Amino acid sequence: MSDLRVPNSASGQGPGGRRRSWAELLAGRLKRQKYNPERAQKLKDSAVRLLRSHQDLNALLLEVEGPPCKQLSLSKLIDCDGSEAYANHSSSFIGSALQDQASRLGVPVGVLSAGMVASSVGQVCTTPAETGRLVLLTVEQRKKLSSLLEFAQYLLAHSMFSRLSFCQELWKIQNSLLLEVVWHLHVQGIVSLQELLESHPNMHAVGAWLFRNLCCLCEQIETSCQHADVARTMLSDFVQMFVLRGFQKNSDLRRTVEPEKMPQVVVDVLQRMLIFALDALAAGVQEESSTHKTVRCWYVPEGGLPECTAGFLPN
């Protein structure tokens, strides 16, 4: 009987018995195959699906590239207290490394960077379990988010960031996603509130999520929280967004998805707020209860309603 031997390429063993990385195995296979555009696109789509389904992006990159890939972690960038020049140098370095990794993985760099930034956003939003449900960032979290968003703006400016992929990744962590983070993303032009909300596949679910967070925001405003000024600005901006985007019949705004979605979310949230207030009124809730504070803040905001609502209110 002949002695059958498995080649090193099939067993994943390189010269000297060294186990070869996934990237090396793929590279060797590609060299033996003729280029096929259709097959290349399928491989690219598969790589994107793998990337999006992987729970630990840093672990996946480490698996592909080996220990040097630890340099791609954004933790040092968002934790640094260095100068602006240092931050810019770090952004440039990480951006270059992302391009290299995207090339090795066979995925668009915008998809890869969006996943990494979304993962870092999730880390920033992490709060101790005993703190309860919050919508506002701490001073330390706000500082980290600021550095992260500066990096995201660098990626956007260099066409290395997919807004749609970023939105999709954010919804995977929606249970820990803080409302203030969503507001900062909107204000700083990373992704607009409309863009984020419309990217969710379930308008009813996203309406419920926004309603819960707005109720929590109102409650925190009424309890004189430490960052009440930020909270009031957030609430005012959300109300303004509801008026300007939810009730416009003819809009020149560029939309990335069907234009009917934003009004659906707005109507859903407003209906929930109305039912919540009517139920509270019928139940005769105590004046200092959290429910009463939420309703009071939403319907009688301190400082009055935004100017943009003037045309929608009766004389």
Task: Give the pLDDT confidence of 24-60 residue by residue, as tens digits.
Answer: 655 655 555 555 666 555 655 555 455 555 445 555 4
Same domain, 146 and 237: no
Q: What is the pLDDT of residue 10?
A: 44
Question: How many domains does the chain contain in total?
Answer: 2
Same domain, 163 and 135: yes
Q: What is the pLDDT of residue 248?
A: 65
Same domain, 177 and 231: no
Q: What is the pLDDT of residue 315?
A: 39
Same domain, 90 and 187: yes
User: 88-96 long-range contacts, Cβ below 8 Å, gap at least 24?
Assistant: 88/154, 90/151, 91/150, 91/151, 91/154, 92/154, 94/151, 95/154, 95/155, 95/158, 95/160
User: Structure pTM?
Assistant: 0.72
Q: Which domain holds residue 169?
A: 86-191
Same domain, 211 and 180: no
Residue 13 sits at φ, ψ, to 5 deg, of -100, 130
Same domain, 178 and 222: no
User: For the chain, which residues score pLDDT lower than 70?
Assistant: 1-89, 128-133, 224-225, 246, 248-259, 301-315
